Structure 1
């Protein structure tokens, strides 16, 4: 149980979690949209550009090496700060290294360094998630999750849209050097960040299977695992084809979709995460998950109405706003749930495993969305997506008493 518990999340702690979220989100676009733009701008072929998508694999499999971050560390720095500084220093050197390369002249080295950035970024995510889990008391997790989402999204704006604007004036080499300098600021934050005072592990009482065994021996463990997988399934199905639906299904222009889906949508997501975190300081985890889950289903149903009515600008804006608002609220609650389910001795490993499970709906189940649309049409697809929220809500009700206990104490 964390010893840094406090009844309300202090401003200092909020800013710390915000910075951690920023550090986590910053490298993502540097191996995603910004990197892709650099490759296109350099004249690289589309087949090669497509292969660079595989660079994101470390994010999917990061739970494999997460036990190392629970077990090994430099005592003088502490269990979490050891890995924070190691991963952030590695990101600084890797991003700076990439800024010295030219894609067409050194393609293999360029791809390898991009993979290094993705690996160190995924590793940083592991330790930041564990740090947030260890340092926040149960009453702080909702707002803490909101601040993490806010920092993460702001960083994606900086390295994504901001990176592209900067590259237009300074070039991609200078842009990546600027991003490397931003990592120096994050390293400074980590140097002064307090180490969570949790019980340390010894070599004798740790094994690679210990985090899994500890989780599975708990009452209702399989119900909780199912809840993690299913809670945002409705949201995942809807989000997987929102852009395609707005363009192909109800015939809005690219400019309209870009302005509403990306502009208003991003703002609504950030607002939703903040509102969700604020509400979670006043209502318990079970009620938050229930209310936000139901609101996500209602937002999905609004797209079914849009599909029925056809091209309707006001309803389109409303549906996109509601979908992103409730998604932000649900994300904050789900993140708080994952933190609540982690034992502080194994928080790096357990959070990495649980977050991988929470992505199952988005990565493995959402791809069937296109098949549903092809067979049932857009309106029926959104009705199916709305109904897919029911299993998660039912499981949520089943474990309600256990969730109420998690709202007031740590594992």
Structure 2
């Protein structure tokens, strides 16, 4: 059977990228809906489920690091981006097949590790698909194509979440892994394999290959390719950091993306947890998730239209407030009815199920209204000269915020119960309102020449003090009681942010002992994440304290640098 090359026509391109984004949504829906539901039904606690869902988003927070490798390493036989997409989809399917052998929940740790690798392949695939879209779509197709791509991701989530839950009611959970893998492979076979990148794209891809060895033409020499990828990653770090510090709006955008996207609990694993505890079976949960996806998609279209008519900041202000309302309402109702701490799965409780349906559907309308508008406002403060780099970095930080949000919510549910978690989520979701007035393009003459440098020095001071705060926390953290795990999680976020600033300093500032040490301390700050897998005894506390102290010392040194490279010309 001769299959058509969809990239050769306008309708084909639109359909192809819609289908490719379906493969991105399938694993997401499978993890945060189907697997989360199954784990809770097997008695896994909300904290473990929250950590599981949080780990799923981590690779997407660092997908920018995969971009240089996708750009540099090419295959002439299979096509530059097409080769990456085929390889990643095959690996996505293979890792899903591997997951079948694990015994849940007994082997949840190994299961999560393999799924983390699986999702890393998904993040790399996303980079390759976006790269192919940028080099394939005509200018007059991009708006519609992006809308269809987001719609494809939503359909994929429905397939991986609702579709799996509908199916498992009849076939059991283990068979769902093959269903999800098969869904991805169908798109590989019918959509990706027949693709042919155009002659223009091959010429563009070959431009970077001139003078490179390799008679087979399969890929670049590893040494040269790795060096080039390293140069691209360094350039990305420098460009992103300059863009973030360049204007007040762009700098506020960093905090805006690191904060939760409004109230988030009803869009993460908490809803699946409550579905199990309220006695909803697989079919009823699948219906809830399906309708949630439908109203979210409708809200996305309506929200974008309203923001064009009424302005993005004003509409986002309303959307963020509205997202907190159903979250706070559900917290109040659960507290009123005495449903506080997590409970084992039981018989269906119609009154609680109705509350969950109402809160979820209303929340997803407002969440949909917010979603596209929030992405659009970040484009407003993005420097057009480096739009791809800066916007990618913003979206990566947003994924990191989701990972942190899913994790702290699971910890808080077990420590304080559902009403408190929902109440905190509703309140924290409003913090974005403080930054929203600053998310705007700069006015002419508004920025002083040394403003970006001052922001860099101020960031280094603040992060240094926060790293030093780890030392007393490690000694007297018990004073936080049940909240200690949440505070510890936010120190992890502080260490990651410090590592990013140290990496930017190494890439940007002149070579000196301070900057030469920066990448090594940055790696150490990232590595302390693994402390969560060890007993929090003296050796772990001591090692983390040494790294935090070294990071703080280096940041204090950077706070005294001129950062003249950032000064506006």
Other-structure match for 1:223: 249
Query: 1:214-263, CA deviations, whole angstroms, 9 ceiling, x for partnerless residues?
Result: 34445946632532641695743354699989x99xxxx777x9799756
More contact order relative to length (CA 8 Å, sep ≥ 6): 1
Query: Of 430, 439, 443, which aligns to 1:396?
Result: 439
Other-structure match for 2:91: 90
State the number of aligned residues.
Answer: 378
| Matches for 1:366-381 after TM superposition, within 5 Å | none
By how many angstroms is 1:71 displaced?
A: 2.3
By how many angstroms is 1:137 displaced?
A: 6.5
Q: Give the Cα separation in 1 of the matches to 2:119 and 2:304.
A: 29
For residue 262 of structure 2, give the secondary structure of its aligned residue in structure 1.
helix
By how many angstroms is 1:158 displaced?
A: 1.5
Q: Give the Cα separation in 1 of the matches to 2:377 and 2:147.
A: 13
By how many angstroms is 1:185 displaced?
A: 2.2
By how many angstroms is 1:337 displaced?
A: 6.1
Report whether the alignment pairs 1:267 with 2:310. Answer: no
For residue 296 of structure 2, give the secondary structure of its aligned residue in structure 1.
helix
Other-structure match for 2:396: 356
Other-structure match for 1:65: 66
Query: Of 325, 331, 339, which aligns to 2:371?
Result: 331
Distance 1:400 1:23, change over 3 A: farther
Other-structure match for 2:16: 16
Q: Give the Cα separation in 2 of the matches to 1:71 and 1:52.
A: 32
Q: Give the Cα separation in 2 of the matches to 1:112 and 1:305.
A: 34
Q: Give the Cα separation in 1 of the matches to 2:46 and 2:331.
A: 38
Query: Of 293, 296, 302, which aligns to 2:319?
Result: 296
Q: Give the Cα separation in 2 of the matches to 1:261 and 1:275.
A: 21
By how many angstroms is 1:88 displaced?
A: 0.9
| Matches for 1:40-51 after TM superposition, within 5 Å | none
By how many angstroms is 1:131 displaced?
A: 3.9
Distance 1:194 1:155, change over 3 A: same
Distance 1:296 1:368, change over 3 A: farther
Contact 2:240 2:393 in 1 (8 A): no
By how many angstroms is 1:23 displaced?
A: 0.6
Contact 2:259 2:401 in 1 (8 A): yes
By how many angstroms is 1:167 displaced?
A: 2.8
Distance 1:148 1:291, change over 3 A: farther
Other-structure match for 2:103: 103
TM-score in terms of structure 2 length = 0.51
Contact 1:33 1:160 in 2 (8 A): yes
Q: Give the Cα separation in 1 of the matches to 2:33 and 2:261.
A: 23
By how many angstroms is 1:87 displaced?
A: 0.6
Distance 1:180 1:382, change over 3 A: closer
By how many angstroms is 1:84 displaced?
A: 1.2
| Matches for 1:107-146 after TM superposition, within 5 Å | 113-133=114-134, 135=136, 143-146=144-147
By how many angstroms is 1:22 displaced?
A: 0.7
For residue 19 of structure 1, give the secondary structure of its aligned residue in structure 2.
helix
By how many angstroms is 1:144 displaced?
A: 3.8
For residue 322 of structure 2, give the secondary structure of its aligned residue in structure 1.
helix
Contact 2:25 2:157 in 1 (8 A): yes
Q: Give the Cα separation in 1 of the matches to 2:293 and 2:269.
A: 14
Contact 1:272 1:328 in 2 (8 A): yes
Query: 1:279-298, CA deviations, whole angstroms, 9 ceiling, x for partnerless residues?
Result: 68xx49xx763354133134
Contact 1:130 1:351 in 2 (8 A): no
Q: Give the Cα separation in 1 of the matches to 2:23 and 2:367.
A: 22
Gaps of 5+ in 1: 1-8, 402-411
Q: Pick which of 168-177 and 188-197 moved more.
A: 188-197
Larger Rg: 2
| Matches for 1:242-257 after TM superposition, within 5 Å | none
Report whether the alignment pairs 1:209 with 2:252. Answer: no
By how many angstroms is 1:174 displaced?
A: 3.4
Distance 1:209 1:233, change over 3 A: same
Q: Give the Cα separation in 1 of the matches to 2:290 and 2:376.
A: 26
Contact 1:60 1:356 in 2 (8 A): yes
Distance 1:81 1:97, change over 3 A: same
CA RMSD of aligned residues (A): 5.3
Contact 2:18 2:149 in 1 (8 A): yes
Q: Give the Cα separation in 2 of the matches to 1:37 and 1:319.
A: 18
Distance 1:271 1:86, change over 3 A: same
